[in-house]
Amino acid sequence: MQILSINPGSTSTKIAVYEDLNPVFVQNLKHSTEELSPFNKIIDQYDFRKKVILEFLEKNGVDVHSFDAVVGRGGLLKPIPGGVYRVNQTMIDDLKKGLQGEHASNLGGLIAYEIAKAAGCEDNAFIVDPVVVDELDELARFSGHPLLPRRSIFHALNQKAVARRFAREHSKNYNELTLIVVHLGGGISVGLHKNGKVIEVNNALDGDGPFSPERSGSLPVGDLVSLCYSGKYELQEVKKMITGKGGFVAYLDTNDAYEVEIRALEKNDEEARKVFFAMAYQVAREIGSLAPVVSGKVDAILITGGMARSKPLTEYLTEHVKFIAPVHLYPGEDEMQALSEGVYYGIKGEIEIKEYK
């Protein structure tokens, strides 16, 4: 089975070709500021990005007709349960509208469908576990005010892939496990997976949870409201404080977690050390907060994402949460592998292929 995976980011488009679960190649196609500057909206980049992908494939001797399936990163669609979704007209319409906002990932399903159509396999165009996966327990939706319900926006693709991988490695059924999965990246999400559903998770984009390299996480609500009405900041400035210029960026003027670790532990930068371990403290606290939801009956804690490569960070977390359940590390966030795995197991019938409505 030959699968093309497409993952559009803000300034690049990652593509990968897999034969079954084996990567043939993975390529990051970068887009310069000059190339993207003519486009006012992300959706306007559609033709440009599709052309770049097709030209790269042709240049490297890859015939689009060789693909059995094409999968794109899922965008900001309606809240949906996790899984593998076939791209249909309703999804195409919602991706074009940017239903919950503009994001480069909205292009994933659109480009996947068009290339699948060119390959003669348009019925095998998919997305997998988009960031809007919503399987929250009913009680988890309450925030404290009906005008502000909690939302499920998190690293669903990587969290679900790692959870399924753990289950396969231990000859278990993901749908019968209770896991806490921690994604440590530019944003941080900590999800409680029970019987195949993420019943509780922090909004890792602009809502709550630990602060991260570039996001503020939970903030003191009263102080935030006062800041908003202080007259010192515009709406977009405040939003940027929460997502983009929060966390490490706000405290240390960098979003490079490795740089912060070096400053903290090798260059004896006391402020960097405090900030680094304050983030670790908040992650450990978030993990601990989930255990009571399932009466402490957790099978394993899985730590993944780019920062899971940090030995000081993972050692701190392991020491503080191992009393809850055994801790397993899955460093990195191989989204291309996760996309291809979802489609592979979907077509094989091991994961249900769903219809977006």
260-304 confidence digits (pLDDT tens): 999 999 999 999 999 999 999 999 999 999 999 999 999 999 999
- Identify whether residues 164 and 120 lie together within a single domain: no
Instruction: Note the residue count of the chain.
Output: 357
Cα three-residue angle 70-76-80, rounded to 5 degrees? 85
Backbone angles phi, psi at 33, to 5 degrees: -60, -40
Q: Are the beta carbons of 8 and 108 closer than 8 angstroms?
A: yes
DSSP 128-170: ES-TTB----GGGG--SSTTS-----S-HHHHHHHHHHHHHHT
- Identify whether residues 191 and 255 lie together within a single domain: yes
Q: Check residue 9 and give its pLDDT.
A: 83
The larger pLDDT score, comparing residue 120 to residue 11, is at: 120
- C-alpha span between 155 and 343 (Å, rounded): 18
- Identify whether residues 238 and 339 lie together within a single domain: no
Question: How many independent structural domains does the chain possess?
Answer: 2
- Identify whether residues 10 and 79 lie together within a single domain: yes
In the block, tokens 């909206």 appear at 41
Rg (CA), the chain: 20
Q: Check residue 354 and give its pLDDT.
A: 96
- Asked if the structure places residue 21 within a domain, the reply is yes
- Asked if the structure places residue 143 within a domain, the reply is no
- Identify whether residues 327 and 339 lie together within a single domain: no
Q: Are the beta carbons of 307 and 283 closer than 8 angstroms?
A: no
Range of the domain at 258: 157-331
Average pLDDT over residues 125-129: 97
| Closest listed residue to residue 8, CA positions, set 36, 97, 181 | 36
- Asked if the structure places residue 141 within a domain, the reply is no
pLDDT band at 25 (very low <50, low <70, confident <90, very high): very high
- Asked if the structure places residue 146 within a domain, the reply is no
Q: What percentage of the chain has pLDDT greater than the value 90?
A: 89
Q: Are the beta carbons of 193 and 181 closer than 8 angstroms?
A: yes
- Identify whether residues 251 and 121 lie together within a single domain: no
- Identify whether residues 199 and 309 lie together within a single domain: yes
Q: Which residues pair with 328 in a beta bridge?
A: 302
pLDDT tens figures, 130-178: 989 999 999 999 999 999 999 998 999 999 999 999 999 999 999 999 9
- Identify whether residues 81 and 172 lie together within a single domain: no
pLDDT above 80 (res 195): yes
- Asked if the structure places residue 149 within a domain, the reply is no
DSSP-assigned letter for residue 39: -
Element at 195 (helix H, strand E): none
pLDDT above 80 (res 10): no
- C-alpha span between 235 and 30 (Å, rounded): 31
- Identify whether residues 203 and 326 lie together within a single domain: yes
- Asked if the structure places residue 339 within a domain, the reply is yes
Task: List the structure tokens of 334.
Answer: 């191989």
Q: Check residue 345 and give its pLDDT.
A: 94
- Asked if the structure places residue 140 within a domain, the reply is no
Q: Which amino acid is at 50?
A: K
- Identify whether residues 81 and 115 lie together within a single domain: yes
What CATH number did the domain enclosing 126 receive?
Answer: 3.30.420.40
Cα three-residue angle 288-292-297, rounded to 5 degrees? 95
pLDDT tens figures, 91-109: 999 999 988 878 888 999 9
pLDDT band at 12 (very low <50, low <70, confident <90, very high): confident
- Identify whether residues 162 and 233 lie together within a single domain: yes
pLDDT tens figures, 294-311: 999 999 999 999 999 999
Q: Are strands 300-305 and 327-331 parallel, antiparallel or unpaired?
A: parallel
- Is the sign of the CA dihedral 212, 244, 201, 71 positive or negative? negative
- Identify whether residues 60 and 124 lie together within a single domain: yes
pLDDT band at 206 (very low <50, low <70, confident <90, very high): confident
- Asked if the structure places residue 142 within a domain, the reply is no
- C-alpha span between 275 and 264 (Å, rounded): 9
- C-alpha span between 132 and 78 (Å, rounded): 7
Q: Check residue 274 and give its pLDDT.
A: 98
